[in-house]
Amino acid sequence: MYGKWNINHNICGQRYIPKITIFYKFVLLFCIISIFGILVSSFCSGNNYQEDFEDDDFTVGFHSDDDKSHKNNDKIAQEMSQDIRVLCWIMTGPTNHKKKAQHVKATWGKRCNVLLFMSSINDTNLPSVALSVGEGRNNLWAKTKEAFKYVYKNYINDVDWFMKADDDTYVIVENLRLMLSSYNSSEPLYFGSRLKPFVKQGYMSGGAGYVLSKEALRRFIEDSLPDKDKCRQDNGGDEDVEMGKCLNNVEVKAVDTRDGYGRGRFFPMIPEHHIIPKLKKLEKNTWYWKMAYHETKDGLDCCSDYAISFHYVPPNMMYVLEYLIYHLRPYGITN
């Protein structure tokens, strides 16, 4: 290296080389620092894939319904969907229609018997229902009440089960139907990721999604909501906690949704955070392990093979889950 630079830089008979070398050393150092900086910043933003797609209004292609490898594979699921009718309503808002809600519609939402998006404006593309409530966290309880009133008024005789989920919840609807197939929708029942505090029998996390039987919804609307001693009347409070109190006060039973191995089925976080124990020490995650109604296990024992829901799933991860759950198959292994 040195020899190469030395040859032609002897200006006016003076040996100018040392200065040039120092100059180039600085240039080189500057370049290395810049490149390092660029690498670090791209690594950090690339790591956070929640933000990567956040503003994107993108579409993802699916295999054709006639695709040989899938045709008629879902016979049992199709039959079940006739018998166990599930309405799913998604809590969303105008700024999330394109960013999040449309990806729910393109992925798991299509498997519900009825899919509704609850917003404050009527967007005919989605479509969404315009409830007359304000947007924002402080109105979530008001929105939940209005959404269930709308659903009760328009759909109570059309389906058996009513699920509320967020626009970043991912649901495996077939596994929801499998669990519900053991229950009677004429009984007052309520399913989800059960948390301990605030309500005697516990309450179901809002983000993991929760499910009411037809009778639970009837009691909520007819008996609990109109009574200020049973149900909070103003807009404030946490939507899921208030729901838990209202249902508890009209004897709707919070069901233990773990499977026969004691593994959970509804989850308030992404799979990664339930599977890998050390991630539960992340500050934003600790609440769940403190509040969970049932003791949870680490590793793959966390989660049922027939798991139903996960929360904080960004749109791009919804398509990845679609691929992993409905398409990717290990050849030679059947169940």
Ligand X SMILES: *[C@@H]1O[C@H](CO)[C@@H](O)[C@H](O)[C@H]1NC(C)=O
The residue among 169 and 213 lying less far from ligand X, judged by its C-beta, is 213
Query: For strand 170-171 and strand 210-213, is the pairing parallel, antiparallel, or unpaired?
Result: unpaired
Between CA 27 and CA 31 the distance in angstroms is 6
Q: How far is the CB of 150 from ligand X (least distance, A)?
A: 9
Q: Which residues contact ligand X (rule: CB under 6 A)? A: 122, 124, 127, 129-130, 184, 186-187
C-alpha–C-alpha distance, residues 298 and 315, integer Å:
26
Which DSSP symbol is given to 100? Answer: I
Q: Which is nearer to ligand X, 129 or 151 (CB)?
A: 129
The distance of closest approach from Cβ of residue 50 to ligand X in the complex, given in angstroms and rounded to an integer, is 30
Amino acid at 197: P
**DSSP state, 252?**
-
The least CB distance from residue 246 to ligand X, in Å, is 21
Smallest distance, ligand X to C-beta of residue 186, A: 4
Cβ distance to ligand X smaller for residue 97 or 273: 97
Q: Which is nearer to ligand X, 42 or 186 (CB)?
A: 186
Q: Kindly tell me which of 127 and 237 has the beta carbon lying closer to ligand X.
A: 127
- Which among 195, 202, 198 is positioned nearest to 296, based on CA atoms? 195
- With respect to ligand X, which residue has the nearer C-beta, 69 or 124? 124
User: What secondary structure does DSSP assign to 253-289, as a single string?
Assistant: EE-----TTS-BSB-SS-HHHHHSGGGGGSGGGHHHH
Give the length of the chain: 335
Which run of H or E residues covers position 4?
A: helix 2-6
Residue type, 293: Y
The minimum distance between CB 252 and ligand X, in angstroms, equals 13
Minimum distance of ligand X from residue 212's CB (angstroms): 15
* Closest C-alpha among 270, 333, 259, 269 to residue 301: 259
In the complex, the smallest distance separating the C-beta of residue 238 from ligand X, rounded to whole angstroms, is 27
Residue 228: CB minimum distance to ligand X, A: 28
Which one, 59 or 184, has the nearer CB to ligand X? Answer: 184
The strand pair at 161-166 and 86-91 is best described as: parallel
Tokens 């649901």 belong to which residue?
A: 171
Pick 89 or 267: Cβ nearer ligand X: 89
The smaller minimum CB distance to ligand X, of residues 14 and 182, is found at: 182
Least Cβ distance, residue 224 to ligand X (angstroms): 19
Structure tokens at 186: 């004429």
Question: How far apart are alpha carbons 205 and 192 in whole angstroms?
Answer: 7
Question: Rounded CA gap, 132 and 245, in Å?
Answer: 24
Question: CA distances (Å), 290 to each of 17, 195, 251, 284, in order?
Answer: 67, 9, 26, 12
